[in-house]
RNA sequence: GGUCCCUUCGUCUAGCGGUUAGGACACCGCCCUUUCACGGCGGUAGCACGAGUUCGAUUCUCGUAGGGAUCACCA
């Protein structure tokens, strides 16, 4: 595959949402696969709505997901001079013209057209103006051809065609002299030699105008790949009301970036029946040819399943490191207690999110667990006292608590008491954790260690009837 | 409303003229079992509709219906 230059071009008016993240991912994979360049371009021509906080949030999201860019971030606000030159050229060539209609006039014309059942488009009032009014504010409009049609062969959607007379003369420069999106996106994609342009299919309707602009500017027209949108459960465009849409919100909810990447890539793309992909596999296997044409519903359940999968198969050392922040957020004092990797290892098979893991790890860090009435009633009975004592004796004989030594102790205790595993494990679990802690009982003992385990068991004795 | 796009289980999807329509999430049942999970096995469930083309349509064409996007001095 030849080297591709692709880009992700978010506008800094909010955080990185899952839709944008997927678009970024597709572009990133294409660049990595081809050994080409992934350009990050910040579309901040709307100075009023763009914020540095948003830029930072987007960068943070990209970093978390592991999408490193090769060029950028490039800010369009740094390139106004270039856009100004291009506008000037179009003006000189008569391919653009000044329009003196005010925003209010335009709006009322649109409203009128709508009321008459017509199309809300610019009527061309200033298109052929010969005498320019003096000193009045103006915008610059692109002189769009009124005949013919514009067609392109979308890489994912196939052939798409528009009649040119459906397109009106779009504004390329505002009254304040700043350029607008449809213009700068063309100048930049051409200037940065982006090909293919991979973006959300909400841009399909902009594409014919942009193609006309490429041609007017004398640029070669790139290929386009419009990827389907991500919808909410009600099939409407995914938004806040559907729940979390910010990528970083998922980190906060205990999701791993690889789970998010894996989920996002499968939403709209497939590789046979495969479900699990490492980033390296994605780079090797991803291709636009296998991107579907239809929109997809964001399914949190499947994301959760993938997250559980990655936690389950994750490196305990890493999970332990990640756990630090989640424990802190859960208000758990981790200053003393077991080693985090060991904690993570004991819980990774049963945690679907890191938040769950932190919550389920709480008992490890609570040296004096509270016993509720139900627990006392059920497990701390007269008969069970001897059970715990028996277990303590055999545990005490172990020099160190390992899976083997613990198993041995349990066997001996079972023999001594004549009880089955269940009768032994449950009271012990309650005594050690204060309730029905999730890890296997051997794991709890092993992670807690000999001294702490015996201390907790001994302490529980006081609560027996 | 105009334009454009889309349409296989509830959801994500495989399928690229002939298949018992496959997989995954979710759901249900059974097994495993020291709690909870994991895991294993099995199951429910789908080609929107109507015409064509064809010996044969989920697959190709055209309609219909439904859904979505877009029609800014936002991007």
pLDDT of residue A120: 78
pLDDT digits (tens, 9 = 90+) for A9-46: 999 999 999 999 999 999 999 999 999 999 999 999 98
**Could you tell me if residue A217 is inside a domain?**
yes
**Could you tell me if residue A25 is inside a domain?**
no
pLDDT digits (tens, 9 = 90+) for A76-111: 999 999 999 999 999 999 999 999 988 888 888 887
pLDDT digits (tens, 9 = 90+) for A267-281: 999 999 999 999 999
d(CA A42, CA A57) in angstroms, rounded, equals 12
Judgement on whether residues A222 and A264 belong to the same structural domain of the protein? no
Residue numbers 250-309 of A with CB closer than 7 A to any atom of strand B:
266-268, 270, 272-273, 275, 290, 292-297, 299, 301-302, 304-305, 308-309
What is the ipTM, given to two decimal places? 0.95
What backbone torsions phi and psi does residue A10 show, to the nearest 5 degrees?
-80, 155
pLDDT of residue A1: 66
pLDDT of residue A437: 85
| Catalytic residue chosen out of the listed positions A119, A240, A378, A411 | A240
pLDDT of residue A44: 94
**Could you tell me if residue A123 is inside a domain?**
yes
Judgement on whether residues A398 and A288 belong to the same structural domain of the protein? no
Q: What's the CA A110/C1' B2 distance, rounded, in angstroms?
A: 13
pLDDT of residue A18: 95
Closest CA to A381 of A414, A436, A430, A442: A430
Q: Indicate whether A331 pLDDT > 70.
A: yes
- Residue A197 CA, chain-centre distance (Å), reads 21
Per the DSSP assignment, residues forming a β-bridge with A161 are A151
Q: Please name the nucleotide lying closest to A306, CA to C1'.
A: B25
From A196, A227, A258, the end of a domain falls on: A227
CATH for A457: 1.10.10.350
Residue A123 Cβ under 7 A from any strand B atom: no
A240 is catalytic: yes
Judgement on whether residues A382 and A343 belong to the same structural domain of the protein? no
Residue A182 Cβ under 7 A from any strand B atom: yes
- The H or E element spanning position A60 is helix A52-65
Helices A18-34 and A257-266, interaxial angle, to 10°? 90
Judgement on whether residues A358 and A378 belong to the same structural domain of the protein? no
Q: Per-residue pLDDT averaged across A401-415, rounded?
A: 87
The top-scoring range by mean pLDDT among A86-100, A368-382, A425-439 is: A86-100
Domain that holds residue A434: 373-463
Judgement on whether residues A340 and A379 belong to the same structural domain of the protein? no
**Could you tell me if residue A59 is inside a domain?**
no
- C-beta atoms surrounding A146 within 10 Å: 13
Judgement on whether residues A92 and A215 belong to the same structural domain of the protein? yes
Inter-residue contact A152 to A220 (CB < 8 Å): no
Judgement on whether residues A275 and A353 belong to the same structural domain of the protein? yes
pTM of the model: 0.94
d(CA A44, CA A12) in angstroms, rounded, equals 6
pLDDT of residue A361: 95
Report the largest interatomic distance among the alpha carbons of chain A, rounded to a whole angstrom. 107
Judgement on whether residues A107 and A215 belong to the same structural domain of the protein? yes
Q: Please name the nucleotide lying closest to A238, CA to C1'.
A: B68
Q: Looking at the 3D structure of chain A, how many domains does it have?
A: 3
The number of residues making up chain A comes to 465
Judgement on whether residues A183 and A266 belong to the same structural domain of the protein? no
**Could you tell me if residue A428 is inside a domain?**
yes
Residue numbers 440-459 of A with CB closer than 7 A to any atom of strand B:
440-442
From A330, A362, A394, the end of a domain falls on: A362
Judgement on whether residues A210 and A260 belong to the same structural domain of the protein? no
Judgement on whether residues A189 and A116 belong to the same structural domain of the protein? yes
**Could you tell me if residue A346 is inside a domain?**
yes
Tell which strand B nucleotides have any atom below 7 Å from a protein Cβ.
Answer: 1-8, 10-15, 22-26, 33-39, 67-75
Residue A426 Cβ under 7 A from any strand B atom: yes
CATH for A128: 3.40.50.620
Q: Per-residue pLDDT averaged across A391-409, rounded?
A: 86
**Could you tell me if residue A93 is inside a domain?**
yes
According to DSSP, the β-strands at A197-200 and A158-163 are: unpaired
According to DSSP, the β-strands at A296-297 and A230-231 are: parallel
Judgement on whether residues A378 and A350 belong to the same structural domain of the protein? no
**Could you tell me if residue A238 is inside a domain?**
no
From A362, A393, A408, the end of a domain falls on: A362
Closest CA to A394 of A420, A427, A416: A416
Q: Which residue is nearest to nucleotide B12 (CA to C1')?
A: A267
């Amino acid at each position: 595959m030849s080297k591709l230059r692709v880009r992700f071009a978010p506008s800094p008016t909010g955080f990185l949402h899952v839709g944008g993240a997927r678009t970024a991912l597709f572009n990133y994979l294409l660049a990595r696969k081809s050994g080409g360049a992934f350009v990050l371009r910040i579309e901040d021509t709307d100075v009023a709505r763009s914020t540095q906080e948003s830029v930072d949030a987007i960068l943070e999201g990209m970093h978390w997901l592991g999408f490193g860019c090769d060029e950028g971030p490039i800010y369009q606000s740094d390139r106004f001079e270039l856009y100004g030159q291009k506008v000037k050229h179009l003006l000189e060539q008569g391919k653009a013209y000044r329009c003196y209609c005010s925003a209010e006039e335009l709006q009322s014309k649109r409203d009128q057209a709508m009321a008459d059942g017509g199309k809300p488009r610019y009527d061309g009032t200033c298109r052929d103006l010969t005498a320019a009014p003096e000193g009045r504010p103006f915008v610059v409009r692109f002189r769009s051809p009124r005949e013919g049609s514009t067609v392109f062969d979308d890489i994912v959607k196939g052939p798409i065609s528009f009649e040119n007379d459906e397109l009106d003369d779009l504004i390329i420069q505002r009254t304040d002299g700043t350029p607008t999106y449809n213009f700068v996106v063309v100048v930049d994609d051409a200037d940065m030699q982006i090909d293919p342009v991979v973006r959300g299919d909400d841009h399909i309707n902009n594409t014919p105008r942009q193609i006309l602009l490429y041609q007017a500017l004398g640029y070669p027209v790139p290929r386009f790949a419009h990827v389907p949108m991500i919808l909410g459960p009600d099939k409407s465009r995914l938004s806040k009301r559907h729940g979390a849409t910010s990528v970083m919100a998922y980190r906060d909810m205990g999701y791993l970036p690889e789970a998010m990447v894996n989920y996002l890539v499968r939403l709209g793309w497939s590789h046979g029946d495969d479900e699990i992909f490492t980033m390296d596999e994605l780079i090797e296997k991803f291709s636009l040819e296998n991107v579907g044409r239809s929109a997809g519903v964001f399914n949190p359940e499947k994301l959760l399943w993938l997250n559980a999968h990655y936690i389950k198969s994750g490196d305990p050392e890493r999970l332990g490191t990640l756990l630090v922040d989640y424990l802190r957020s859960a208000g758990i004092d981790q200053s003393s207690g077991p080693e985090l990797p060991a904690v993570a290892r004991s819980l990774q098979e049963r945690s679907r999110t890191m938040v769950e893991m932190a919550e389920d790890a709480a008992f490890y860090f609570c040296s004096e667990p509270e016993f509720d009435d139900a627990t006392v009633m059920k497990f701390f009975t007269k008969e069970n006292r001897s059970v715990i004592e028996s277990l303590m004796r055999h545990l005490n004989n172990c020099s160190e608590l390992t899976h083997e030594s613990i198993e041995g102790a349990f066997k001996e205790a079972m023999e001594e008491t004549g009880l089955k595993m269940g009768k032994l494990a449950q009271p012990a679990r309650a005594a050690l954790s204060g309730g029905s802690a999730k890890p296997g009982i051997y794991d709890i003992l092993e992670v807690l260690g000999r001294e702490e385990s015996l201390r907790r068991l001994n302490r529980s004795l006081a609560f027996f009837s």
